[in-house]
Structure 1
Amino acid sequence: MTRNILLGAAAAILAAAGATLFAGSPHPHATNRAIVSAATAADAPAPLYYQDPDGKPLYSPTPKKTEDGRDYVAVPAPTDMSDQPAIQTKSDRRIRYYRNPMGLPDTSPVPKKDPMGMDYIPVYDGDDRDDGSVRLSPGRIQRTGVRSEPAELRRIRTLVRAPGTIQLDERRVSVVAMRAESFVQKVADVTTGSRVTKGQPLMDIYSSAVSSAAAEYLATITSKTTAGIEPYGRGSRQRLVNLDVPNPVIAEMEKSHSVPTTIQWSSPRDGIVLQRNAIEGMRAQPGDVLFRIADISQVWSTVDIAERDLGHVAVGQPVTVRARSYPGRNFESRISVIYPQVNKDTRTARVRIELANADLALLPDMYVDAEIDTGAPAPVLSVAESAVLDTGSRQAVLIDKGQGRFEPRDVKLGRHGDGYVEIRDGLAEGDAVVTSANFLIDAESNLKAALKGFAEAGENATGARP
């Protein structure tokens, strides 16, 4: 009797609650669906990261679209944030052994705790592959900051930097010197540093040897006996040429039929007077340099290349020269000569670069800095320098195989430059390589190999016991 009364009261209460719940809802089934959807959305874990929809090793911490407009796929975080692989649960696999949680070389065939009370970590079948690959969960990939990018064809621009100076072009330097004893009668208003043009008067010279040769030549060409005989006149004229008498002076003598008292010497080229030794009234001996003139519209830049970089430098490579006096201004050219000698004190070799200097901005002995582009003109397969694990005797990269699996691979390196390194062997175009956190993965791989060795040694020792 009492039981029937309690059941009836409970039914009345449930009916009243149901009437109250649906009193304000014209669509009770829609309300149920909304409640279920809200509960499901609340229970669903937030995306850990977003991955390329084609499964490529391309990730993003925020929603992103591919180049063709497709959305990246959201990868939810595991509910317990464990480091278990996403494909196969560890409960379906056999536990081979347990390893020390602190990474110490200590394993156990049964569950165990370390002296601090921490549980040993189980190692399952498939976790210790013989190919040296490492498997990480999405959670660990996200936390350790693993990034990958494909190997691509790039032109590696390698710059060799070297200091140097501006030097005169040896082919554009002239001197004015006497070939016979002479006296300087007069010097033009030309000083060291003056710009002169070809044919501009420099000084007036008196020379007895020149006057004697000129008189002989005029006598030959004006004599009734030898005037019409060309060989006679040719020999006398050649004597004046040998004394370096300017051609305009000889032509004037042939026209006037008179021997000038002084001979006017002129500039042999356009350029700048680098040296003036001529003084009015001085006596000049044969070979004395009275003027030194250089054309600096084209100059040389000689730079010192370190011995270790000589193998990358060749004639014809492009060079950018910057003068310290003109910051921001570049002088472009190419290597013209590599001198066949190494300085035994500095271990450098000299390289010559010819530079156009139309505005005469570059002056002799001016300091410059050169950048030589030694990169190959054709693109080569390359990866970021941060992707290479270099032990000195071995170079390797970590290949991102997808699904959290990473495989080490030996490679042969080539040129370095612009943050990239050439891969000559070991990779193919498009292979995804790890560019960040690769040292952590490498450490994980080494630890796994060491633990596997200890475990195998323990199993062998157990099997060998009587």
Structure 2
Amino acid sequence: MSALGKLTAAVFVAGTAGWVGLSAGEKGVTAASLLGMAEMQLAALMGNDAAAMPGTDVPQTEPTGPIIYWRHPDGLPDWAASEATTADGRGFLAVQASEDLSLGPATEPAAELAPVTDVDRAILYYRNPMGLPDTSPVPKKDSMGMDYIAVYEGGDNDDGSVTVSPGKLQRTGVRTSEAVLAPLAASLRVPGIVVLNERKISVISLRADAFIETVADVTTGSSIAMGAPLVTLYSPEIAAALAQFVTDVRSEGRQREGARQRLANLGVPVEVIDRIATEGLASVNIPIMAPRSGVVLERMAVEGMMAKAGEPLFRIADISTIWVLAEVPEGALMNIAHGADVRISFQGLAGAPMTSRIATIYPELDLMTRTGKLRIELPNPDGRLRPNMFADVEIMLDQTPVVQVPEGAVIDTGDRQVVILDLGEGRFRPEPVTVGRRGGGMIEIISGVAAGDIVVSTATFLIDAESNLNAALAALSPPEADQ
């Protein structure tokens, strides 16, 4: 063929290749195969041998590895797990492990890295990348174009455990901790209120009808010392008993002790009785003294008033020690022991909290609030603590050693609590647990974990999700190959 004829043929082949490319794209023919056919045709027209034409820059190597699936001979998106044929009788092409495409960047293998062993294990099936219960016997993509993930033989277990490579453990930040047997630094905060010490409250009243002659210069809130006079009074009944006592004293009669006891029964102070016995003279006005040191809470006595027997005149309380009553929810009472340490702080007082112990646990619950009361005694030498002050009570709970793990190790979904056990060699398994008290960043494990077990303390949700997915897939029937 002449040079002009060869040039004309080359232009014709180029135009034909463009038209064929448009139609070949619809049939799934790749650009590489189309270029190869065009080169073969051009070589034939030019009179050259197709084998002598220059190839691609990348050297062609023989495929290696096991056959992982079969693909359509025309490059269509159609695969099979076993040998298959097209509708026109042509056989599918085998794809070996080295021919499988990867969407990641190509990297040079490092000499120090261990060889990949996944190709040595049989692929059971491919699972949905989003965790949906959908499997495929052959590689495929989901609706968003994501590749299904290969599941290799030995890669999942019926117990929901999962095996994670060391590299993935490091990337996800997985950390483990040991379950320990130790006292739990747990405490309970409850509200409290300051009340008077019931043992140190006195009410001053008369045992006979009397007229109040004078009242001491004390009012509500005044401090008073024990033995200080409060009122002087005149009582006809007491005056008659005094006269009888004076007569018996002067005559040294046998009724002397009986008359003395009668005066004591009427509430005459012992000091007054002793003075009359010594002097032999009766006094018309009888003083009444304070029975204890403290603060006057109430003053009802008024000069000139007529006081009936039993009518209170003063109410006095010793506030050198006070009580704090704390209200504890019903569900927490069983964890509180008599004598447990407490720390008490007051909103209106600066400084460190006061420490004490639980003196009494009341035997009944409040019917409306469903709370129980605890009583704590506190010294109050300077009188800073006053009745009805609010208190914040922190109760140290039972210090018996218990199995405990970090709070971050427990996954609580509301209806279940689990921890991730580290089985060693990169294997993990979720374990249901029963939890108890919390405190100091730790949580008590009642059942499910023993002291010495290794649990995952961070990135627990990632491993739990993976293990739940494996357990769900293991429950599905084995996938069948496409026919």
Say whether the fold is shared (TM-score over 0.5).
Answer: yes
Q: Deviations over 1:278-311 (max 9, x none)?
A: 2222221111211111111111111222222222
Alignment-derived partner of residue 458 in structure 1: 479
Q: Is 2:178 the partner of 1:155?
A: no
Structure 1 Cα separation of the partners of residues 214 and 147 of structure 2? 106
Cα distance 1:197–1:95, how it changes in 2: closer, same or farther (>3 A)?
same
- State the TM-score, normalized to the length of structure 2: 0.72
Structure 2 Cα separation of the partners of residues 264 and 108 of structure 1? 105
**Pick from 249, 257, 261: which aligns with 1:238?**
261
Cα distance 1:320–1:88, how it changes in 2: closer, same or farther (>3 A)?
same
Alignment-derived partner of residue 42 in structure 1: none
Structure 1 Cα separation of the partners of residues 444 and 309 of structure 2? 63
The 3-state SS of whatever aligns with 2:159 is: coil
Cα distance 1:449–1:80, how it changes in 2: closer, same or farther (>3 A)?
farther
Alignment-derived partner of residue 63 in structure 1: none
Indicate conservation of the 8 Å contact 1:321/1:331, yes or no: yes
Letter of the aligned partner of 1:334 in structure 2? R
Q: Which moved more, 1:86-95 or 1:377-386?
A: 86-95
Indicate conservation of the 8 Å contact 2:205/2:311, yes or no: yes
Deviation at 1:426, TM superposition (A): 3.1
Deviation at 1:410, TM superposition (A): 3.0
**Pick from 394, 397, 406: which aligns with 1:371?**
394
Deviation at 1:392, TM superposition (A): 4.6
- For residues 12-27 of structure 1, the aligned pairs below 5 Å read none
**Pick from 223, 226, 236: which aligns with 1:208?**
236
Alignment-derived partner of residue 437 in structure 2: 415
Q: Is 2:366 the partner of 1:343?
A: yes
Structure 2 Cα separation of the partners of residues 343 and 148 of structure 1? 45
Q: Deviations over 1:351-407 (max 9, x none)?
A: 222222222211111111211111x22332210122112345543211123332212
Q: Compare CA radii of gyration and give the structure with the larger one.
A: 2
Which ranges of structure 2 fall in alignment gaps of 5 or more residues?
A: 1-106
Indicate conservation of the 8 Å contact 1:318/1:333, yes or no: yes
Structure 1 Cα separation of the partners of residues 284 and 144 of structure 2? 114
Q: Deviations over 1:107-130 (max 9, x none)?
A: 222333445544332211110123
Alignment-derived partner of residue 131 in structure 1: 159
Alignment-derived partner of residue 98 in structure 1: 126
Indicate conservation of the 8 Å contact 2:161/2:470, yes or no: no
Cα distance 1:275–1:113, how it changes in 2: closer, same or farther (>3 A)?
closer
The 3-state SS of whatever aligns with 1:259 is: coil
Indicate conservation of the 8 Å contact 1:86/1:137, yes or no: no
Q: Is 2:309 the partner of 1:286?
A: yes
Alignment-derived partner of residue 199 in structure 2: 171
Letter of the aligned partner of 1:101 in structure 2? P
Q: Is 2:249 the partner of 1:249?
A: no
- For residues 38-187 of structure 1, the aligned pairs below 5 Å read 89-187=117-215
Alignment-derived partner of residue 302 in structure 1: 325
Structure 2 Cα separation of the partners of residues 302 and 388 of structure 1? 35
Deviation at 1:158, TM superposition (A): 2.2
Cα distance 1:127–1:152, how it changes in 2: closer, same or farther (>3 A)?
same
Alignment-derived partner of residue 197 in structure 1: 225
Structure 1 Cα separation of the partners of residues 355 and 302 of structure 2? 42
Letter of the aligned partner of 2:181 in structure 1? L
**Pick from 266, 282, 295: which aligns with 2:289?**
266
Q: Which moved more, 1:128-137 or 1:258-267?
A: 128-137
Structure 2 Cα separation of the partners of residues 190 and 80 of structure 1? 99
Q: Deviations over 1:17-70 (max 9, x none)?
A: xxxxxxxxxxxxxxxxxxxxxxxxxxxxxxxxxxxxxxxxxxxxxxxxxxxxxx
Alignment-derived partner of residue 437 in structure 1: 459
Cα distance 1:402–1:86, how it changes in 2: closer, same or farther (>3 A)?
farther
Identity of aligned residues (%): 49
Structure 1 Cα separation of the partners of residues 383 and 246 of structure 2? 44
Structure 2 Cα separation of the partners of residues 172 and 150 of structure 1? 53
Letter of the aligned partner of 2:349 in structure 1? Y
Alignment-derived partner of residue 276 in structure 1: 299
Alignment-derived partner of residue 383 in structure 1: 405
Structure 2 Cα separation of the partners of residues 393 and 118 of structure 1? 33
Cα distance 1:109–1:365, how it changes in 2: closer, same or farther (>3 A)?
same
Alignment-derived partner of residue 32 in structure 2: none
The 3-state SS of whatever aligns with 1:458 is: coil
Count how many residue pairs are aligned between Structure 1 and Structure 2.
375
Indicate conservation of the 8 Å contact 2:159/2:471, yes or no: no
Structure 1 Cα separation of the partners of residues 403 and 191 of structure 2? 32
Alignment-derived partner of residue 218 in structure 1: 246
Letter of the aligned partner of 2:457 in structure 1? T
**Pick from 314, 328, 333: which aligns with 2:351?**
328
Q: CA RMSD in A?
A: 2.5
Deviation at 1:148, TM superposition (A): 1.1
Indicate conservation of the 8 Å contact 1:323/1:329, yes or no: no
Which ranges of structure 1 fall in alignment gaps of 5 or more residues?
A: 1-78
Indicate conservation of the 8 Å contact 2:157/2:471, yes or no: no
